[in-house]
Structure 1
Amino acid sequence: MAKLVKHTNGRFYVHYHDGSRSRQVSTKCTEKQPAEQFLAQFLTGQTPTKDDLTVAGILDIHYRDHGQTLRNQAATLSRKKILTEHLGDLKAQQLTKARLNRYAKARCVKRGTLRTELAHLQAALNHCVRDGYLSVAPVIDLPRPSPVKDRILSVDECDALLAASEGDLHTFILIGLETGARPQAILDLTWGRVDFERGQIDFLPEGEEQTSKRRPTVPASERLLGYLSNMEKLHNTPVITSGTIPYQFKRLCQRLGLKDVTPHTLRHTLISHALMAGKDIYLVAKFVGDNVQTIEQRYAKYRPDYLKEMTNVWRCEQK
């Protein structure tokens, strides 16, 4: 009798007896649902083919081969679980536009969230084609990106956030306002990457490679270094230990009456105020780990000389 057994490497294997001795074959799956599908085909004498692979199996292979190296594992696993629950039994060729429209209606989430989930699915499909698990991947029509939020904090609002916060939340806000680092980069920061002697902070975790969302090494302000130097420090332990910072930040903003403010607003605020102060756009981009084109497109309007050359056109002609 064949049965599924999960090995120490995290994968399920089919254990069976061929009449003379015990044998085993890998399902190449780390989750039970796609492994059971493999077992069902195995028991009927079928060898699973590329066209037989379900979305659950595709997502499982993608996570096994690539997903575990991604940052923010909780979010990655959450998307994988949601996609599996809604689409897991389907095969790649069944991911039609009509079916994905039904998925969108069933999810009833914001456009940006839906885009992120479907992009995750597309990445998994493409990965399985590249590695030979699928013959072809359908092209998913992703929703348009959500419009960039223009909300930035005034100096008074920044001061209010700092004055009303304490502990890890205060540390998070101060680092965000002083460095413009992405929220997850701040939460991932460890003491071993805060160089007090050189006055620098390295936001890239040891052993990780840079992605499109760069995590640069930046100089820290005197205010930030002074604050961090007074904290209790243990080498390579997180600077921020609380796991509820996003929730705490949301509650604080509600208490202060700050609308449309998210942790990412701290980054927008630093970039915008730096340009308003006349800082060079190239240096701003380097400091926050972004490219000049993106900063130009999203934030150029905050520069004091923005399009000033286009004013008083008619007055110039009359001279």
Structure 2
Amino acid sequence: MPRARKPPRLWLRTEKDGDRQRSTWVILDGATHHRTGCLAHQVAEAGQALNDYLASKYEAPKGGRASEITLGAVLTVYLDEKSAGSARPKETQQTIGRLNDFFGAKTVSEVKGKLCREFEIHRGTRSGARRDLEVMRAAVRHYHKEYGLDVLPAFTLPDKGTPREVYLTRSQAAELLWAALGWEKEGTGDNAYWKRRRDQKRAHLARLILIGLYTGTRPGAILSLQWIRSTTGGWADLDRGVIFRRAEGERVAHNKRKPPVKIARRLIAHLKRWRRLDGWSEEKVGLRYIVNYLGSQVTKPNKAFRSAIAAAQLPSTVTPHVLRHTRGTWLAQANVPPNEAAASLGLTAEEYERTYLHNDPDFQKSAADAY
């Protein structure tokens, strides 16, 4: 009777290297040997190499009973078949890793409200737990659609967080812009005054601030904006007066829509001036990114933004995303029709109403004064 095949395992192999002998770890898998590149003392690294090898050979089961299929298998299928095509592949892969740590050994049938609430406690943040559970739910639905499950579990998601109330007033927005342009507020209250700084290390923030206030575009999309069409970011079409937030061929998440937005008259004057300053003309190609620092793309504005907030003596709760929230609030205060305001922000009318409409001075006025 033939003996059962042994599973892949580590073996310390000794080889001759000239006049010396060298011991290295290899993976034995039947009659084949796979080098790990690890020396004898690198035991932990060799163990990780074996784990990676086993993971590469693992094939998740396709379809079956919910009481037998593990959530780890479901997540593996989703990782292999869907994560690369998602709007944010790296973020999706990180989320799947977190979910696998908690849910991997459990079966699909074990998904109940109690387990979802335990994950919320484990995650430590309600909004983060909700986002992760939405991915877990999508993974189970994809598995069921493609391969079939006898029972499809129901996920209990944490409630959505309340809308942010932080936004800039007109005077605060002006102070933030002044700070970006190199001014610093000294003193407090009635004794406060503005002092000019010598260095201009925050000047690039002026473009981020003005585009954010006039379009409500998310900071990440603003930093990717370019002067011409591109597959790596949106672009500003100054001839048509439209900013296209989405890169050519870019896929975006359903809750991170990037529709085109009309450029305000006041903003387009700034954009035309910035384009000239960046070296563009009919005969010459200039700098690529609209928001740039010494010609290079700005990827992380947080340090400079915090410096500007401190210089303007604004609350630390003001972040680059507050620019988008400010735009939505100002649109509501200006009594802009909800459908049009929502479209310019890339929101549904329901999302806009839930988040911003209470700032409209005529909010529920007819109902309040009905009798």
More strand by share: 2
**Residue in structure 2 matching 1:175, options 181, 191, 211:** 211
Letter matched to residue 61 of structure 1: V
TM-superposition CA deviations, 1:66-120 (whole Å, max 9, x none): 2223333443232122212232233323334444433332322x21111111111
Equivalents in 1 of 2:244, 2:327: separation in Å? Answer: 18
Equivalents in 2 of 1:156, 1:90: separation in Å? Answer: 54
Moved more, 240-249 or 175-184: 240-249
CA-atom RMSD in angstroms:
3.7
Q: Is the 8 A contact 1:118 1:142 kept in 2?
A: yes
Three-state SS of the structure 2 residue aligned to 1:191 is: coil
Three-state SS of the structure 2 residue aligned to 1:201 is: strand
The 3 A distance-change label for structure 1 pair 162 and 116 is same
TM-superposition CA deviations, 1:144-190 (whole Å, max 9, x none): 00111122210122122222232554433222111012334324433
Equivalents in 1 of 2:306, 2:221: separation in Å? Answer: 18
**Residue in structure 2 matching 1:36, options 54, 63, 69:** 54
Letter matched to residue 185 of structure 1: A
More helix by share: 1
Three-state SS of the structure 2 residue aligned to 1:149 is: coil
Equivalents in 2 of 1:214, 1:41: separation in Å? Answer: 35
Aligned residue number for residue 216 of structure 1: 259
The 3 A distance-change label for structure 1 pair 282 and 53 is same
Deviation at 1:142, TM superposition (A): 0.5
Q: Is the 8 A contact 1:151 1:265 kept in 2?
A: yes
Three-state SS of the structure 2 residue aligned to 1:89 is: coil
Deviation at 1:302, TM superposition (A): 2.3
TM-score by length of 1: 0.73
Aligned residue number for residue 352 of structure 2: 295
**Residue in structure 2 matching 1:191, options 200, 219, 227:** 227
Deviation at 1:123, TM superposition (A): 1.0
Q: Structure 1: 5+ residue runs without aligned partners?
A: 5-14, 19-31, 315-319
Equivalents in 2 of 1:133, 1:313: separation in Å? Answer: 54
Equivalents in 1 of 2:148, 2:53: separation in Å? Answer: 15
The 3 A distance-change label for structure 1 pair 56 and 243 is farther
**Residue in structure 2 matching 1:231, options 250, 261, 278:** 278
**Residue in structure 1 matching 2:248, options 198, 202, 206:** 206
Letter matched to residue 71 of structure 2: V
Deviation at 1:244, TM superposition (A): 1.9
Equivalents in 2 of 1:274, 1:172: separation in Å? Answer: 19
Deviation at 1:268, TM superposition (A): 1.9
Equivalents in 2 of 1:294, 1:67: separation in Å? Answer: 26
Equivalents in 2 of 1:126, 1:174: separation in Å? Answer: 42
Three-state SS of the structure 1 residue aligned to 2:261 is: strand
Letter matched to residue 218 of structure 2: R
TM-score by length of 2: 0.64
Aligned residues, how many?
288
Answer with 1 or 2: which has the greater Rg.
2
